């Protein structure tokens, strides 16, 4: 499990992030900048399949799905100045049901559903740093997808504000979204056919 490149010299904010070259992709988590790797063909195949399913199943239901790259701002509740936000991430997929969270430059606040597709360079970040971030930010449901092992871990935010493991799907099964009734994924169809 590799670690993504990080900028550790200082505490970064969105003000810094906006100045970085457009051909570089970064995320900020608590002021630490993490480089994002280019997705593989397998990663993109999974992302495209899930994005298509989300679009079709959520159409006309008041929620919107988005695919990376899209900035998601996760500031402390009291922080309103965009430039001072020190946590800006780009989940692989997300669903937002509150239109008040949608702004011209991204999503402000916790999405209802976040999906991260693991890659060797981001696996640790997605399963540790982002897991903790999404939990404390109030993301209602978080799916971690492993293209290599062909499994999906579904976490649902409990009433205590902590993620609880709902279920792990290994290669097949029907994944029913807990926070978006009616959104169901046939896990066997997620994996690109070779």
Task: Confirm whether 8 is domain-assigned.
Answer: no
The whole-number pLDDT of residue 81 equals 83
pLDDT at 111: 98
CA distances from 31 to 81, 93, 155, 180 (A): 15, 22, 25, 31
pLDDT score for 79:
67
Tell me how many domains the chain contains: 1
Q: What value does the mean pLDDT take over residues 15-27?
A: 91
Average pLDDT, the chain: 90
pLDDT tens readout for residues 24-61: 889 999 999 998 888 889 999 999 999 999 999 999 99
Average pLDDT over residues 64-72: 96
Within a domain: residue 57?
yes
- pLDDT surpasses 50 at 84: yes
Chain-centroid distance, C-alpha 24: 19
On whether residue 171 sits in a domain, the answer given is: yes
Q: What CATH number is associated with residue 63? A: 3.90.1570.10
Structural domain for 69, as ranges: 39-189
How confident is the model at residue 7, as a pLDDT?
A: 59
pLDDT at residue 18 greater than cutoff 50: yes
The DSSP output letter for 189 is G
What is the DSSP code (8-state) at residue 83?
G
Higher per-residue pLDDT: 64 or 194: 64
């Amino acid at each position: 499990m590799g670690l993504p490149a990080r900028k550790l010299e200082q505490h970064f904010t969105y003000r810094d992030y906006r100045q970085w070259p457009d051909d570089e992709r970064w995320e900020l988590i608590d002021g630490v900048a993490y480089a994002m790797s280019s997705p593989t063909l397998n990663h993109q195949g999974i992302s495209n399949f899930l994005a298509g399913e989300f679009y079709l199943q959520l159409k006309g239901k008041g929620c919107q799905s988005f695919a990376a790259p899209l900035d998601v701002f996760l500031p402390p509740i009291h922080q309103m100045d965009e430039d001072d936000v020190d946590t800006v991430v780009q989940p692989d997929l997300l669903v937002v049901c509150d239109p008040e969270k949608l702004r011209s430059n991204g999503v402000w606040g916790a999405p209802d559903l976040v999906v991260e597709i693991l890659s060797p360079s981001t696996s640790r970040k997605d399963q540790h740093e982002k897991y903790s971030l999404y939990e404390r930010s109030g993301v209602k449901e978080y799916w971690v997808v492993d293209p290599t092992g062909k499994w999906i871990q579904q976490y649902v935010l409990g009433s205590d504000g902590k993620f609880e493991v709902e279920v792990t799907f290994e290669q097949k099964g029907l994944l029913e979204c807990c926070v978006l009734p009616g959104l169901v994924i046939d896990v066997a169809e997620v994996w690109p056919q070779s």
